[in-house]
């Protein structure tokens, strides 16, 4: 039974990655990008050094919009994602990213709220 399960897993795993290929590469808009998301037809990136969010054209990598993140302050930006026309930026206190929060921004860079990520 273990062999059958292992074989089935290997078949499904190979099917899941069979068609994966790199179709394009683009240059990052900055050197300290710590998060990347996709939504509303754009790539979204955040820079942990300057605390800047970037909206990028996924075909060319050109910067369509950028703004300074207004909320993290002393917290270190550690990632982002995009959903429901909102850029979610994660940040926490160093060194272990404790007291972490997720900050919400509109596509134009307006801060629209936050919530705690700590359990």
110 occurs within a structural domain:
yes
Rounded Cα distance between 65 and 57, Å, is: 10
Residue 43, domain extent:
29-116
pTM above 0.85, yes or no: no
Give the position of tokens 């990347």: 36
- What integer best gives the mean pLDDT of the chain? 83
- Residue 88: CATH number of its domain: 2.40.10.480
Find out whether 44 and 87 touch, Cβ atoms under 8 Å: yes
Task: Point out which residues pair with 104 in neighbouring strands.
Answer: 88, 113
Residue 3 parent element (H or E) = helix 2-17
109, part of any domain = yes
**Joined tokens for residue 51:** 């605390």
Does residue 19 fall inside a structural domain?
no
Number of domains in the chain: 1
Tell me the per-residue pLDDT of 67-86, one tens digit each, with 9 for 90 and over. 999 886 778 898 999 999 99
What is the spatial distance between Cα 110 and Cα 12, in angstroms, rounded to a whole number? 43
Q: What is the pLDDT of residues 38-68, one digit of tens each?
A: 999 999 999 988 899 999 999 999 999 999 9
């Amino acid at each position: 039974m273990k062999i059958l399960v292992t074989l089935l897993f290997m078949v499904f795993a190979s099917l899941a990655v069979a068609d994966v290929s790199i179709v394009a590469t683009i240059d990052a808009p900055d050197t300290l990008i710590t998060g990347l998301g996709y939504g509303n037809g754009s790539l979204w990136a955040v820079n942990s050094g300057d605390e800047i969010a970037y909206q990028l054209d996924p075909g060319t990598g050109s910067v369509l919009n950028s703004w300074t993140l207004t909320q993290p302050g002393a917290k270190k930006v550690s990632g982002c994602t995009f959903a429901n026309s909102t850029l979610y930026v994660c940040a926490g206190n160093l060194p272990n990213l404790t007291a972490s929060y997720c900050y919400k921004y509109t596509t134009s860079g307006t801060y629209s709220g936050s919530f705690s990520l700590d359990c």
